[in-house]
Amino acid sequence: MNKKIKVLVTGAGNGVGQSIIRSLNLSKLNLEVIISDIDKLNTQIYNKNKSIIIPKVEDKKSKQWFIKNLIRKKIDVLFVGSEYEIEFFSRNKKEIENKTKTLICVSPTETIKISLDKFHTYKFLKKNNFPFPRTFLPKNLDQAKKIIKKLKTPFYLKDRFGTSSRNVYLIKDKKCFSGLYILVPNPIIQEFAGFKGESLKNEFTCGIFTLRNGKLIGPFIAKRILKNGTSWVVEVVKQNRIKKLIIKIAKKLKNIGSLNIQLRDGPKGLIPIEFNARFSGTTSIRAFFGFNEPEMFIKNYFLNRNIKNPKIKLGRVFRYTEEVYQKR
């Protein structure tokens, strides 16, 4: 295919969208990448790629806007770079694709529901006999207090639907619980899975890719240290015990393309703690080490090419912040 493939990436102002864009820039495919965001002030809008402003998906006319503009701009593939837009595109995928001929990279609604809702993640793991962190859904503060009486510290207080470690508190002293509980929307209580303290032996972030025919590619496995909800230090590793568990989980989920699974290791062994049935903030890291999921999606789902397991390089990544300057 000689003509350029026109790709639109949403959520260019956040880490996931930027990670997709960096992965596409690493690809050798003939791509025209158009970046988009709801806010024109997001710094990624001002890079060398073309950019457009898009409406918020909760706007009543957003679906018609996307249908009209995907046709007008002749977009071949759409990547969702904001977790807030995932449910919208999953729910409207079929209609938008049929009317625009744009291929949208998003998983089925049921899979999205499992990954976006931490309590549904827990129920999925338990139902399918996978290791799981005990998770509780209190109706109110009084019930929550009764639950934590039976738990050892530390344990987590989380927003059931939260992302990027927003509204996540590691409770080390139960005296602090009530004051924090009232700050968390949709609170759940979850046992702490893993060894105490932050180190590269504790937490893993893994990527596995589902092809159109259901075959699995990967997984990509990395240890990580978190900082403000973001993978700050990442080390690519090979671990067969993690590989087997990731493959078993992926086979149970009806996923399209990229699936990100996070695990912690501890006294009870490996325990999956969260899923992302989408690209993640470490997508570009995986791409750098040879596991380029946005490129794989275009090759397999759009170009109908067969994909073989790539050779994944080993290494370590340190993240840092960087500014974008504009002269007036």
pLDDT digits (tens, 9 = 90+) for 66-106: 999 999 999 999 999 999 999 999 999 999 999 999 999 99
Structure tokens at 6: 């026109």
Residues 6+ apart with CB under 8 A from 51: 12, 34, 35, 36, 37, 44, 45
Q: Are residues 54 and 93 in the same domain?
A: yes
How many structural domains comprise the chain?
3
Same domain, 165 and 288: no
- If asked whether residues 248 and 314 sit together in one domain, one would say yes
Residue type, 278: R
Instruction: Identify whether residues 151 and 271 lie together within a single domain.
Output: no
What per-residue confidence (pLDDT) applies to 256? 95
Q: What pLDDT sits at residue 201?
A: 63
- Contact at 8 Å (CB) between 77 and 228? no
Q: If you average pLDDT over every residue of the chain, what do you get?
A: 91
Give residue 150's pLDDT.
Answer: 92
Structural domain of 17: 5-106
How would you classify the pairing of strands 155-159 and 168-171?
A: antiparallel
- Residue 48: which pLDDT band, with cuts at 50, 70 and 90? low
Whether 300 is in a domain gets the answer: yes
Q: Give the pairing type, strands 269-276 and 257-266.
A: antiparallel
Beta bridge partners of 78: 8, 104
pLDDT exceeds cutoff 70 at 18: yes
Place of tokens 């209609």: 95
CB-CB contact of 272 with 131 (8 Å): yes
- Reduced to 3 states (helix: H, G, I; strand: E, B; else coil), residue 73 is coil
Exposure on the CB side of residue 81, measured as CA atoms within 13 A: 31
Question: Does 23 fall in a domain?
Answer: yes
3-state SS, residue 143: helix
Read off the pLDDT of residues 263-301 as tens digits, 9 standing for 90 and up. 998 888 899 999 899 999 899 999 999 999 999 999 999
What does pTM read for this prediction? 0.91
Phi-psi region of 165 (alpha: psi -120 to 50; beta: other; left: phi over 0): left
Q: Do residues 226 and 115 share a domain?
A: yes
CATH code at position 170: 3.30.1490
Which amino acid type is present at position 276? N
- 219 falls within a domain: yes
Give residue-wise pLDDT tens across range 100-142: 999 999 999 999 999 999 999 999 999 999 999 999 999 999 9
**What's 96's domain CATH number?**
3.40.50.20
Q: How far apart are CA 38 and CA 52, in angstroms?
A: 9
Instruction: Single out the residue of 320, 281, 212 nearest to residue 15, CA to CA.
Output: 281
pLDDT tens readout for residues 206-256: 999 999 999 999 999 999 887 766 778 889 999 899 999 999 999 999 899
